[in-house]
Amino acid sequence: MSRLRSLPRAHLIAGLCLVLLLLYPVVNPWQPYPQGVMLLAFLLAIQASSWNIISGYAGYISLGHSMFLGLGSYTVGVLAVRFGVNPLWVAPLGGITAVVIAVLIGSVVLRTRGHAFVIITIAMLLAAQIFAVNLKSITQGSDGITLELPFWDRDFQNIPFYYVYLILMVLTVLFSAWIRRTKFGTGLVAIREDEGKAASIGVNTTRFKIVAYAASSFFIGMAGGVYAYYLTFINPVGSFAILGSVTIVLATLTGGRGTLYGPVIGAFIVQLVSEGATVYGGGSNARVLVFGLALMLVVLFLPKGILPTIEAWWRRRHPEKVEYTDQAGALSRVPVTATERVRAEIAAVNEKDEVAPGEILLDVRGVSKRFGGLTAVDNADLTVRKGSITALIGPNGSGKTTLFNLISGGMAADSGEIWFDGRRIDGMRPWRRGHLGLGRTYQVTRLFKEMTVQENVVAPLPDSRWRTMFSDAVRGHEAARARELLDIVGLGRFANQPAGALSYGQQKLVELAQVLMLEPKLILLDEPAGGVNPSLLGQLTEVIRELNRSGVTFLIVEHNIPLVLDLCDPVVVFSHGAPIAEGPPERIRTDPLVLDAYLGDDWRPADGDEGTGDPADDRADDRADTTTREAVQ
């Protein structure tokens, strides 16, 4: 009973509805018409819920998804007619055909980002129709395929279909719920919100999208096989109709794209409205008109769909209480066991390295990047030694962030080589670099704002194993580790809050916890102090030091010079896309070139300062120790 009470309210309501749907034909067995309407609603719910995996979770809109229903129908129709098998027994083969075609199409189309996918999905639907018309020896062309009538008594015509579709609908929703709970599901939402960022935290975006597209086709294909039997007749025009795809989109948008139950609710609403329009509005033309109008109204007035709108209203009425936390205090209260466990894990990862402490971990060799006429990074060299906290400082626009993008794979270099941990990485996809232990944060935080804080931290994938991809993101090892990392940055209590609700400084800390999930060897921190309040800054510095002691190397871009001088060694100074000086902080702060190019007069030592005699002599000594780049001189 207590387990039942702990279930979220939505699951309880869904369970109750399921019981009512199971009982309906029992209490009302002699009503084939309403049963028919309901089973078509189940069919639409199966399609909408499946479509939601690729288009709701991953954000890739498919406008040709009804193609999978047609493929399933034809697979089963052809097998049933040729081999005399009952369509219900071979319906799963409809799902398998759909998956195979989805993988083939997805492998080509989903390597790209954005709109090409939408257009190609429509083209594929039309191509499937043309194939069905022309492959007459298999499909019987425009004449279509007539299947045998169901073997059960006509009086029960709809009841077996009703239950088959109800079961398929429940399986589809459970499948969709399971996907959303895994790191695969979290990765799909990450792709929807910010594909570039998702790639940088180890999400193999190509693989994720192809698997999502295939997963979104299976139950539709299977349902298509059953549909052929239900109709007992299939033809190319009916099986590959664009209106079918529009209905799926409309149902999901109405209920709430990206939610678990939204597509099901939307399917019931759209099916009932569609039935009403056909019966009372004078046939299928009225249905098209109603669909068009409904789509317009949904986009204009319910852009997020019914379920998210109700949820938002509910949250406003019943705001979740979050205890106020003094983060600085929270950081010092982090359970020792958590810190030690994370430290041990990080140390274990770094011990496996080929590169020993003090050796070069990151080696940037003669790298350039041009934007039109502007050379943002100009034949730059940079080395980061294992175990160091290296700073990269320089004036605004000197190319520091661009260099970070080149190292992490967000941009491709025009020339030069980048080596990390003994491997050349400049040709690698960003997620491969992440799997090697290269993590980064962003100057302007790029958290996935619609995910919770915990989901953000659990989303990164430290390797490319399928087991990691399908591990549970809500419970188990991954979720526990995410909680520990959140504790380390003092934000454990915000775990279930939407990331967008946090302050900017807190988001910076979540991004640091997120990157730690990658089990990184090197973290590129882009202006970690920007927007973080001064009292928290000291704690942030401590977290960086603590991680560094565990073996993590840092390359930090930062304009807060006191912080840099306190935390980092060595310091590399960039100007006009290339380093002009490199050395320990106490020497960099007095290097005349650096003072001229970046630090300015505020940092210039006054005569008599430093207590070492003539400051001019000091500076001369400093210059001897600081590696000042010949090229720039």
Ligand X SMILES: Nc1ncnc2c1ncn2[C@@H]1O[C@H](COP(=O)(O)OP(=O)(O)OP(=O)(O)O)[C@@H](O)[C@H]1O
With contacts defined by CB under 6 A, name the span among 390-398, 509-517, 537-545, 621-629 that binds ligand X. 390-398
Site track 401-420 with ligand X (rule: CB under 6 A), x = hit: xx------------------
Give the separation between CA 382 and CA 362, rounded to whole angstroms.
8
Cβ-based neighbours of 196, under 8 Å, separated by 6 or more: 410, 430
Q: Are strands 423-424 and 415-420 parallel, antiparallel or unpaired?
A: antiparallel
Q: How far is the CB of 89 from ligand X (least distance, A)?
A: 56
Q: Are strands 438-440 and 522-526 parallel, antiparallel or unpaired?
A: parallel
Q: How far is the CB of 425 from ligand X (least distance, A)?
A: 19
2 binding ligand X? (CB under 6 A) = no
Contact between residue 201 and residue 21 where contact means Cβ atoms under 8 Å apart: no
Q: Which of 37, 296, 252 is nearest to 288 (CA)?
A: 296
Contact between residue 369 and residue 414 where contact means Cβ atoms under 8 Å apart: yes
397 binding ligand X? (CB under 6 A) = yes
With contacts defined by CB under 6 A, name the span among 101-109, 394-402, 452-460, 490-498 that binds ligand X. 394-402
With contacts defined by CB under 6 A, name the span among 133-141, 212-220, 396-404, 478-486 that binds ligand X. 396-404
With contacts defined by CB under 6 A, name the span among 345-353, 360-368, 398-406, 535-543 that binds ligand X. 398-406
Q: Among 65, 197, 400, 521, indicate the residue that binds ligand X (CB under 6 A).
A: 400
Q: Output the CA angle 146-152-158, nearest 5 degrees.
A: 80
216 binding ligand X? (CB under 6 A) = no
With contacts defined by CB under 6 A, name the span among 287-295, 297-305, 391-399, 479-487 that binds ligand X. 391-399
With contacts defined by CB under 6 A, name the span among 112-120, 270-278, 304-312, 395-403 that binds ligand X. 395-403
Q: How far is the CB of 249 from ligand X (least distance, A)?
A: 33
CB nearer to ligand X: give 277 or 376.
Answer: 376
178 binding ligand X? (CB under 6 A) = no
129 binding ligand X? (CB under 6 A) = no
Q: How far is the CB of 452 from ligand X (least distance, A)?
A: 29
Give the count of residues interacting with ligand X (CB under 6 A): 12
Provide the greatest CA pair distance for the chain.
108
Give the separation between CA 5 and CA 13, rounded to whole angstroms.
12
441 binding ligand X? (CB under 6 A) = no
Q: Which of 71, 366, 355 is nearest to 227 (CA)?
A: 71
CB nearer to ligand X: give 307 or 367.
Answer: 367
With contacts defined by CB under 6 A, name the span among 75-83, 380-388, 400-408, 414-422 that binds ligand X. 400-408
Q: How far is the CB of 585 from ligand X (least distance, A)?
A: 18
446 binding ligand X? (CB under 6 A) = no
Q: Which residues of 398-421 are buried (b: 16+ CB within 10 A; e: fewer)?
A: bbbbbbbbbbbbbbebeebebbbb
Category of 490 on φ-ψ map: left (φ > 0), alpha (ψ -120 to 50) or beta: left
CB nearer to ligand X: give 399 or 437.
Answer: 399
Q: Which of 354, 248, 252 is nearest to 307 (CA)?
A: 252
396 binding ligand X? (CB under 6 A) = yes
Residue 300 structure tokens: 């204009």
- Please give the torsion angle defined by the CA atoms of residues 172, 178, 181 and 187, in that order, rounded to the nearest 10 degrees: -70
CB nearer to ligand X: give 398 or 445.
Answer: 398
Rg of the chain taking only CA atoms, in angstroms: 30
CB nearer to ligand X: give 376 or 391.
Answer: 376
CB nearer to ligand X: give 175 or 603.
Answer: 603
Site track 343-382 with ligand X (rule: CB under 6 A), x = hit: ----------------------------x--x-x------
Contact between residue 391 and residue 558 where contact means Cβ atoms under 8 Å apart: yes
Q: Which of 168, 200, 95, 211 is nearest to 523 (CA)?
A: 200
CB nearer to ligand X: give 186 or 398.
Answer: 398
| CA distances in angstroms from 179 to 53, 171, 258, listed in the order given | 8, 12, 12
The CB density around residue 559, as the number of other CB atoms within 10 Å, is 15
Q: Among 62, 129, 398, 408, indicate the residue that binds ligand X (CB under 6 A).
A: 398
CB nearer to ligand X: give 265 or 571.
Answer: 571
305 binding ligand X? (CB under 6 A) = no
Q: Among 443, 533, 541, 627, indicate the residue that binds ligand X (CB under 6 A).
A: 443
Residue owning tokens 């050796």: 359
Give the separation between CA 463 and CA 459, rounded to whole angstroms.
12
Q: How far is the CB of 370 from ligand X (least distance, A)?
A: 9
CB nearer to ligand X: give 197 or 521.
Answer: 197
CB nearer to ligand X: give 291 or 442.
Answer: 442
CB nearer to ligand X: give 63 or 376.
Answer: 376
Which residues 548-587 are close enough to bind ligand X by CB under 6 A? Answer: none
With contacts defined by CB under 6 A, name the span among 31-39, 248-256, 389-397, 542-550 that binds ligand X. 389-397
CB nearer to ligand X: give 149 or 374.
Answer: 374
CB nearer to ligand X: give 158 or 401.
Answer: 401
Give the separation between CA 74 and CA 228, rounded to whole angstroms.
8
Q: Which of 183, 226, 194, 218 is nearest to 99 (CA)?
A: 218
- The single-letter DSSP state of residue 322 is -
Contact between residue 420 and residue 438 where contact means Cβ atoms under 8 Å apart: yes
Q: How far is the CB of 556 from ligand X (least distance, A)?
A: 12
DSSP string, 454-521: HHHHH---SS--HHHHTSBSSSHHHHHHHHHHHHHTT-GGGTTSBGGGS-HHHHHHHHHHHHHTT--S
Q: How far is the CB of 482 from ligand X (least distance, A)?
A: 29
Q: Which of 575, 570, 524, 567 is nearest to 396 (CA)?
A: 575
Q: How far is the CB of 525 from ligand X (least distance, A)?
A: 13
Contact between residue 286 and residue 273 where contact means Cβ atoms under 8 Å apart: no
CB nearer to ligand X: give 269 or 578.
Answer: 578
232 binding ligand X? (CB under 6 A) = no
Contact between residue 67 and residue 220 where contact means Cβ atoms under 8 Å apart: no
CB nearer to ligand X: give 50 or 398.
Answer: 398
With contacts defined by CB under 6 A, name the span among 7-15, 147-155, 393-401, 485-493 that binds ligand X. 393-401
Q: How far is the CB of 559 from ligand X (least distance, A)?
A: 6
Q: Interface with ligand X by CB under 6 A: which residues?
A: 371, 374, 376, 394, 396-402, 443
